[in-house]
Amino acid sequence: MIRIALLDDYQRVARRYADWNKLPPQATLEVFHDHLSDEDALVERLRDFDAVMMMRERTPFPRSLLERLPNLKLLISSGMRNWSLDLEAATELGIVVCGTSNAREARSPAEVTRTYSRSTMELTWALILALLRHVVTEDKATRAGQWQTTVGTGLAGRTLGLLGLGLIGQQMAEVAAAYRMKIVAWSQNLTTGRAAECGATLVDKATLFRESDVVSVHVVLGERTRGLVGAAELALMKPTACLVNTSRGPVVDEAALLDALQRRAIAGAGLDVFGTEPLPPDSPWFALDNLVLTPHLGYVIDTNYRSFYGNTLDNILAYLEGTPRRVWNPEVLPRRRPLGTAP
């Protein structure tokens, strides 16, 4: 018997986005809709499974967890990058790790990122427009019988500050140009030439926060970017400016941002990512009326889900055939164990 687990299917759609009937008769598929953060509970749940699909970074797989799952032979992550997975530990333990892509066969992580990153860009603009045009406030007011309670802010002539000008940052710049915004950008490795290619002006970090009407975060989370936006940067922002983060929660000092919003030191913020996900019921974010929240929806669109779940099925079938695909740690393949066998 081959046991397969799909984790964190919050929307209960995993069975809809792939033809799981293609699995062989000896394979059983179990889909979990709830989220477990306690490691002991995760071990209890997953100890008997041969293959596990992790949806993005919803459930981390550190070494401490992997070492307690001796039956695990195949771990599949949606997308082609996952910072919450200890790939080195998986390799040492003989666990094959695969990713998924929108392309049928991904030749590189960069190739894949170009396809599904547009959904994050789209959501970022949704948050920006919701903030500047007070969409949430006006929706609630209209339902309550009120009419035109706020005055919005237009985009033309305003300054968009891009903290990071990679693939998503470049897409943000393309849209900002259509809105006739001024675009400034900064990151630790950004060059004047790269900024110019994207229609942006390279400025120093302080200038970006000081001049921008909207600051949008698009850097990869790492040791150099954790806490990159803190109290000092927020203090430079105009009281009429907004911050939007669709990258990773820890890039922004949440305590500092919470304080700035509570004091109305900045006009508002749009957040799709958080240090703890899902947000706890008593999250202080919920008390703020100058904040638009979404539950990490940047990648959550139908085309991505078809890719994630469809490629997961494809990866499982390929593993069973002895030719694993989209493997992140090919050095482990000579030690690959058949699914359904004892450790």
Catalytic residue among 248, 254, 325, 326: 248
Count the Cβ atoms, other than its own, within 10 Å of residue 1.
10
Instruction: Supply 304's token pair.
Output: 């991505």
Residues in the chain: 343
User: Hey, what's the torsion of the CAs at 292, 265, 225, 300, to 10 degrees?
Assistant: 0
CA distances, 319 to each of 2, 100, 102, 137 (Å): 12, 14, 19, 50
Answer yes or no: are the C-beta atoms of 209 and 237 closer than 8 Å: yes
C-alpha torsion sign, points 16, 22, 23, 25: positive
Count the Cβ atoms, other than its own, within 10 Å of residue 223.
6
DSSP state letters, 69-105: -TT--EEEESSS--TTB-HHHHHHTT-EEE---SSSS
Catalytic residue among 3, 218, 296, 325: 296
Q: Is 35 a catalytic residue?
A: no
User: Tokens 């306690």, residue?
Assistant: 38
Q: Is 197 a catalytic residue?
A: no
Catalytic residue among 114, 277, 336, 337: 277
Closest by CA to 234, choosing from 203, 258, 250, is 258
Answer yes or no: are the C-beta atoms of 187 and 164 closer than 8 Å: yes
Q: Is 248 a catalytic residue?
A: yes
DSSP state letters, 115-163: HHHHHHHHHHHHHHHHHHTTHHHHHHHHHTT----------TT-EEEEE
Helices 109-132 and 135-143 cross at an angle (nearest 10°) of: 50
User: Tokens 């508002």, residue?
Assistant: 268
Name the amino acid, one letter, at 191. T
Strand 74-77 and strand 51-54: pairing? parallel
Residues identified as active-site? 248, 277, 296
